Amino acid sequence: MFSRYSYSIIAVVIFVSMLIPLSILSGFIFTEPFFIFHVTEASSFSFVLIIGVSVMSAIVIPMNVYRIKTLQKSTSKIGGSVIGSIIGASAGICSCGPIGFSIISTFGTVAGTAAAFLTNYEIPLRIGSIALLCLVYYTTTRSISSECKIS
Amino acid sequence: MDKRFLVVIAFIVLVTVVAITFSSYYFTLLEMQQYRPGMSEQSLDINLKNGSPVLGSENAPVTIIEFGDYQCEACYHWFHNTRADIIDNYIETGKAKLVFVDLPFLGRDSIVAAQATYCAEDQGKYWDYHNTLYNFQEEIDNGWASKDRLIAFAFNLDMNLDEFSDCLDTAKYNKRVKANYDEAVKQGAQGTPTFIIIAPDGSTTKIAGPQPYSAFVKVMSPLTSAVQIEQP
């Protein structure tokens, strides 16, 4: 499937469009006043998880697009992959940065509680989202190989 | 209920939340641009009278303003990874001074913690208390900065507990913390930590986020190398 350029391009676009914004929002890439990439020893695990979420999303989402488009199968699995990606992406980004500040100052206490949850459980949520994406990958791979089998 | 209906509802809610958040962020940016175009290169009128006491020499040519929240993990990382080098090389050498301005937005305990630092200032221990909070920071609103814990921190710093508790109970510095929050927003802080470096000529540079020491050196070296430093 990834031998087709279009799916490889989708994968690369998803990977880059997740990794860079998440790195900026999580404080690994700074753009003002200079461009700086900085990962401290304490936050290296968090950065590894961001890479994990981005890689898994970049693999699983194009696979499901292929499954729906080529094999005309149901959309249930892509739902799982999108949810996994959203959880992985939203965990941690609502903390001290501009997104968290905007959400909390716009929506008040309820948003503050939600943002605190996403911040406090950033690592377990990201691990959970990677696990969900791995599960979707496993079921999608099985589904594609059985549906594509020539009997 | 129909599964598709739930998915559609969830999608609409998600889109609405994203749209409101984005528009709020966008309009704040727009307001700030109207308030002072080209912020990074122009002189700003920053009101620091409600902020922390000055750390370092009052006569230091460069001023570093930190907008922070005591429950912010990024502030914690900056405090433990970068701040010590700035203190050693810029504050203690008289090249710069540091002022902390509260931007408590992350949780209910953020505001009380900020008020507690000014109660500590009443007893001459602002910076000791500030450092204690960043050394003992835990998860947002999990009780680490509850009133009892704040009093326990004061006890560890040999402060007068009756005076400190009274200050907290009466929310003596509620307005001061609110004024700091408003000032931070007015200066364009969109998260914590945000720094504004004020050069000797009054021009400013904004550093957003818990940036490494090298970023501060890049901004501050040209500012401090040209001026005569009066040793503190």
Mean pLDDT of B80-92: 96
Mean pLDDT of B205-232: 83
Residue A92, min C-alpha distance to chain B (Å): 10
Note whether A30 contacts B69, CB cutoff 8 Å.
no
pLDDT reported for residue B41: 44
Mean pLDDT of A66-93: 72
C-alpha to C-alpha distance for B70 and B77, rounded to whole angstroms:
11
Q: Tell me which of A106-120, B118-132, B187-201 is least confident.
A: A106-120
Pairing of strands A36-37, B204-208: unpaired
Q: Which is more confident, B155 or B4?
A: B155
Residue of B nearest to A34 (CA): B215
Note whether B24 contacts A106, CB cutoff 8 Å.
yes
Q: Which residues of B touch A25 (CB under 8 A)?
A: none
pTM of the model: 0.80
Task: Band the pLDDT of B6: cuts 50, 70, 90.
Answer: low
Distances (CA, A) of B66 to A20, B16, B73, B86, B131: 26, 33, 15, 12, 14
Task: Band the pLDDT of B224: cuts 50, 70, 90.
Answer: confident
**Which A-chain residues 11-40 have CB contacts (< 8 A) with chain B?**
27, 30, 32-34, 36, 38, 40
Note whether B191 contacts A105, CB cutoff 8 Å.
no
Task: Band the pLDDT of A67: cuts 50, 70, 90.
Answer: confident
Q: Which helix (H) or strand (E) holds A77?
A: helix A76-90
C-alpha to C-alpha distance for B161 and B155, rounded to whole angstroms:
7
Name, of A119-123, A144-148, B202-206, the range with top average pLDDT: B202-206
**Cβ distance B223 to B62 under 8 Å?**
yes
Residue of A nearest to B140 (CA): A116
pLDDT in tens, B94-118: 999 999 999 999 988 999 999 999 9
Note whether A97 contacts B139, CB cutoff 8 Å.
no
Task: Band the pLDDT of B210: cuts 50, 70, 90.
Answer: very high
Q: Which helix (H) or strand (E) holds A44?
A: helix A44-71
Q: What percent of chain A has pLDDT over 90?
A: 23
A vs B, Cβ pairs < 8 A, gives: 97
C-alpha to C-alpha distance for B191 and A103, rounded to whole angstroms:
11
Mean pLDDT of chain A: 83
Q: Tell me which of A61-65, A86-90, A106-110, B6-10 is least confident.
A: B6-10
Residue of B nearest to A94 (CA): B106
pLDDT reported for residue A41: 84
Select the residue from B18, B186, B211, B214 to test the A interface by mutation, using most A Cβ atoms within 10 A.
B211
Name, of A92-106, A118-132, B87-101, the range with top average pLDDT: B87-101
**Amino acid sitting at position A145:** S
Q: Which of A33, A43, A100 sits opposite B40 (nearest CB)?
A: A33
Is the confidence at residue A136, as pLDDT, over 50? yes
